[in-house]
Structure 1
Amino acid sequence: MANVLGASGKALIKSHEGFSLKFYGDPYGYPTVGWGHLITTSKTYKKNTTGNPNDSLLTQAEANALSTSLKLSYTSPISESQANTFFTNDTAEAVQRVNNLTLPAGMSLSQAQFDALVSLTFNGGPKVLATADVKNLLAYKLIYASFQGPRSDVEKDNCSKLVSKAFSYDRNLTRRRNEEATLFCKGQPYTHKFPVYSL
C-alpha cells in the first residue's frame, strides 16, 4: 500500500518553502506562488536572496502580463484554496517517486523516514534519489524501522553516518537538510548525531 505525506513532512516542507499568495521570484528569479509552486522557467524576474517571498514580489502588472502570456487560469494573488491545491499536486510527484523506490526485501519506511525523503525529493528533484549516498542509505537494512533484531553501537553509528551523507545535498540548504535527517531518524534506535556535510 502506498504511503501518503504525513503532517510532519507537510510542515517541514512548508516551513522551508516560504509562502505567498502573490507571485514572487524564487532564488533563480523564476516566478513562483504559494509554497514554492513554480509557475514557469521560461521567464525570470527579481531573484529571491533572503528566503522571504515578499522581497521579490512581481508587480501586479508583471503578474497579469505573465498570466496572460501563459494563458493561466489564475493571476496574482491566488486564493489560499488554490495554494493548497498547488501544494498537494506539487508534492504528489515526490510522494510517488519515494513510493516507487525499491527497498530491500521485507523492509519498509516509517512515516517519518518517508516524509523526510519526500521533502528531500520535493526540494532537490527526483534525481536526488539516484545519488550514490541515497542508494547506500536505502540498501542498508538496519536503517529501516521494520528491521527486526539488535543493532550494535557501531551499526547505529553506521546508520547515523549513512543518513548524514544521504541528506548532504545542496550546501546552501544545510538547515533544511539537517531537519530532514533528524526527521528521518525520529523514533529509530539511532540518531542524527553527525550533522550534514560533517563526514
Structure 2
Amino acid sequence: MSRRINVEGLNLIKKFEVFKENFYDDPVGIKTIGYGHNCKANKDSDKIKAPISIKEAEELLRKDLVKFEDYVNKQVPELNSNQFSAVVSFAYNLGCDRLRTSILLKKLKAGDTQGASEEFGRFVHAKGKRLPGLVRRREDERQLFLKK
C-alpha cells in the first residue's frame, strides 16, 4: 500500500495554498481554485462551479495529491512519514518534473538526507522573483523534513 501525506504535511499545504472559493491566477499566472488546484493541468475549470466550499476544495486537494504521493513513493520509498510529507508538499507546489530534475531528489536517492534538507531553500523564486511566501514555505517543508 502506498503511503499518503500525514496531517502535518496536509496542513502545511493548506496553510500556504490558502483556500480560495473562486478562480484566481497563481503567482505564475495559472488558473487555480481551492487549495492550489491547478485547473490548467487538470483540464477541468469548465467542470468546476465556483464558488466552491471548503469541503469541495479539500476533496480536490486529496484527489490532486494522489499523483504526487505516488510519484514520491516510487522515487524514494525509504523516507519516513515527515520526510515523505515534506517532499510531497514540495512536489505539489513545484510539480513532479521539477522534483525529478532537482538536486534535492538526487541527494535523497543517494541517502544524503542532510544535504537534501539544505536544498529546499533553493526553490523560492517565481518568474525570477524571490517570494517571501515561498521562503516561508520551503523553510516549513525543511523543518517538517527534519522532524523525527
- Structure 1 stretches of at least 4 aligned residues deviating more than 4 Å after TM superposition: none
Secondary structure of the structure 1 residue equivalent to 2:79: coil
In 2, are the aligned partners of 1:17 and 1:35 still within 8 Å (CA)? yes
TM-aligned CA deviation for residue 136 of structure 1: 3.4
Q: TM-score, normalised to structure 2's length?
A: 0.81
- Listed one character per residue, the Cα deviations across residues 63-91 of structure 1 (whole Å, up to 9, x for unaligned) are xxxx6xx3x2x322112322111111111
Q: In 2 relative to 1, CA 15–102 (structure 1 residues): closer, same or farther, beyond 3 Å?
A: closer
Amino acid across the alignment from 1:3: R
5+ unaligned residues in a row in structure 2: which ranges?
A: 126-130
Amino acid across the alignment from 2:98: V
In 1, are the aligned partners of 2:108 and 2:116 still within 8 Å (CA)? no
Amino acid across the alignment from 1:113: Q
Q: When you count helix as a share of all residues, which structure comes out higher?
A: 2
Is 1:175 paired with 2:123?
no
The equivalent residue for 2:54 is: 80
Q: TM-score, normalised to structure 1's length?
A: 0.62
Identity in percent: 31
- Of the structure 1 ranges 113-122 and 75-84, higher mean CA displacement relative to structure 2 is found in 75-84
5+ unaligned residues in a row in structure 1: which ranges?
A: 42-66, 144-158, 188-199
Is 1:4 paired with 2:4?
yes
Amino acid across the alignment from 1:164: E
The equivalent residue for 1:165 is: 119
More relative contact order, 1 or 2 (CA 8 Å, 6+ apart): 2
Greater C-alpha Rg: 1
In 2, are the aligned partners of 1:21 and 1:80 still within 8 Å (CA)? yes
Q: When you count strand as a share of all residues, which structure comes out higher?
A: 2
Secondary structure of the structure 2 residue equivalent to 1:112: helix
The equivalent residue for 1:193 is: none
Secondary structure of the structure 2 residue equivalent to 1:22: strand
Is 1:95 paired with 2:79?
no
